[in-house]
Structure 1
């Protein structure tokens, strides 16, 4: 079964796509990763999206328009992927998260926009969307959903392994034998990107190759103020987003630290915040291997900082496991689509805190009758990805 997975993450810079052809034999699910791509949002649309995100006020009219415009962007990205990689049996669209409602330790709701009907209409292919909320109704956080992929990929590692995703938010899955837990650590690129964009430090909107951070020095008073955030001391399961880690969060920390910090020093300090919080949680997990994905793994200041802070841990990119670091989340949603299509749960309760695993998503029919594969009695025990 060929599944096209799509997501725009918390960096809200564009749409990642991965086409995976799955086949199950003797309990082992094999996925051949075919076409992958990343499609940036048009600059005007990205600016509108950023302006509508919390804590900024917005309107229902703006949400309706963004839902349509982002849905149309997803539709074009899907059509391009099908033109390049051939027809898919199912499309999974995570859409764009605009709000994740968490009250301290409990998720109450989540909202992803990007109307899936535009994708179904454009491609004629059925679309699975709205994949997080069912887990929340079962008491989970609806995140990090990539933990179901991590559990299948990492289960064989002796001494335990961690899967770290460095997107806008850093999340980690820890797998040790039959034990699995996952949670959001805190910001990875979210605050760095917000400062680079807000202060117009470059035209890219992110610290390319960590150059800005490398040119600055960490401010100890500011780092201490940032580390004082209560979220870091909450026990898993937990989830977070830009509802907490937004530009105002940086401004408040600057005020507590007692003054302004230069641009390069500010980016260096926020980068060290990512290194410090991630490394601390990896040490607590006690894993021997850390498999890293997401845009942050292309930042040498972050990666060198993690390797320096974790000398006893083998830190490697997820590419080594057949999941390209830039495409891993899109691959994860393709996997969730395959599981849902076969009537299998797409969550690991230890990863989200839900009472039990749930089959995820809402289906939008394509051009013809909605036909699903026969349900499977048991889930795969492992996953092997190849290109």
Structure 2
């Protein structure tokens, strides 16, 4: 079954796509990763999206328009992927998260926009969307959903391993045999990107290659204030997003310090915040291997910082497991699509904190009748990815 996975993450910079051709061989699911790509949002659309995100107020009219415009952008990215890699049986669109409602350490709701009907209309393929909410209705956090992929990829590693995704938010899955737990650690690139964008430090809206952080020095007092965030002390499972970690959060922390912090020093301090919070949790997990994906793994300041802070841990990109670091989340949503299509749950309770596993998503039919493959009785025990 050929599935196209699509996602725009908490960095809000564009749409990642991955086409994966799955075949179940015994208890092993084999996935051949085909076309992958990243399509940036048009500058005007990204600016409107960022302006509408919490804590800024947004009208329902703006949400409606963004839902359409982002849906059309996803439709264009899907059509381009199909033109490059051939027809697909199913498209999975995560859409764009605009709000993740958490109170008292419990997720109560989540909102992803990017109307899937635009994708179905443009491509003629059925579309699975709204994949997080079913887990939340079962008491979970709806995140990190990539943990289902991590469990299948890492379950056989002796001594266990941790999978770290460094997107806007850093999330980690810890796997030891049949044991799995996962949660959001805190900001990875969210705060860095917010500062880089607001101060126009890089036209791309992120610290490419860690250039800005490398030119600055960590402001220890500001770092101390940032590390005092109560979220870090909450037990797993837990989830967070830009509802907490946004530009105003950085400005409030700077106000507590009372003295101005220069641009490069500020980015260096926020980068060190990511390193410190991640390294602390990896040490607590006690695994000997850390497999890293997401845009943050292309930042040498973050990666060098993690290796220095974790000398006993093997730190490597997820590419070595057949999941290209920049495409892993899109591959994960393709996997969720395969699981849903075969009547299998796309969550692991330890990964999200839900009462039980759930089949995920809402289906929008394509141009013809909706035809699903025959159900599979048990979820595969492992996943092998290749090209």
Matched, 1:60 2:55: no
Deviations 1:288-347 (A, max 9, x none): 000000000000000000000000000000000000000000000000000000000000
Match of 2:36? 36
CA offset at residue 105 of structure 1?
A: 1.0
State how far apart, in whole Å, the 1-side matches of 2:24 and 2:137 are: 30
CA offset at residue 26 of structure 1?
A: 1.1
State how far apart, in whole Å, the 2-side matches of 1:169 and 1:257 are: 24
Deviates more, 1:256-265 or 1:121-130: 256-265
State how far apart, in whole Å, the 1-side matches of 2:301 and 2:23 are: 39
Deviations 1:102-138 (A, max 9, x none): 0031000000000000000000000000000000000
State how far apart, in whole Å, the 2-side matches of 1:202 and 1:28 are: 44
Counterpart secondary structure, 1:312: coil
CA offset at residue 228 of structure 1?
A: 0.5
Match of 1:89? 89
Match of 2:141? 141
Match of 2:255? 255
Counterpart secondary structure, 2:24: strand
State how far apart, in whole Å, the 2-side matches of 1:258 and 1:305 are: 27
State how far apart, in whole Å, the 2-side matches of 1:155 and 1:369 are: 37
Counterpart secondary structure, 2:182: strand
Counterpart secondary structure, 2:358: coil
Matched, 1:112 2:109: no
Match of 2:352? 352
TM-score normalised to the size of structure 1?
1.00
Match of 1:196? 196
Match of 1:307? 307
Counterpart secondary structure, 1:163: strand
Residues 207-218 of structure 1 correspond to what in structure 2 (within 5 A)? Answer: 207-218=207-218
Matched, 1:27 2:14: no
For structure 2, the residue ranges without an aligned partner over 5 or more in a row are none
CA offset at residue 258 of structure 1?
A: 2.1
> Between Structure 1 and Structure 2, how many residues are aligned?
387
Match of 2:5? 5
State how far apart, in whole Å, the 2-side matches of 1:9 and 1:90 are: 20
Match of 1:373? 373
Deviations 1:343-378 (A, max 9, x none): 000001000000000000000000000000011111
Matched, 1:98 2:98: yes
Alpha-carbon RMSD: 0.4
State how far apart, in whole Å, the 1-side matches of 2:81 and 2:363 are: 20
Q: 4+ residue stretches of structure 1 with deviation over 2 A?
A: none
Deviations 1:28-53 (A, max 9, x none): 00000000000000000000000000
Match of 1:228? 228
State how far apart, in whole Å, the 1-side matches of 2:204 and 2:59 are: 28
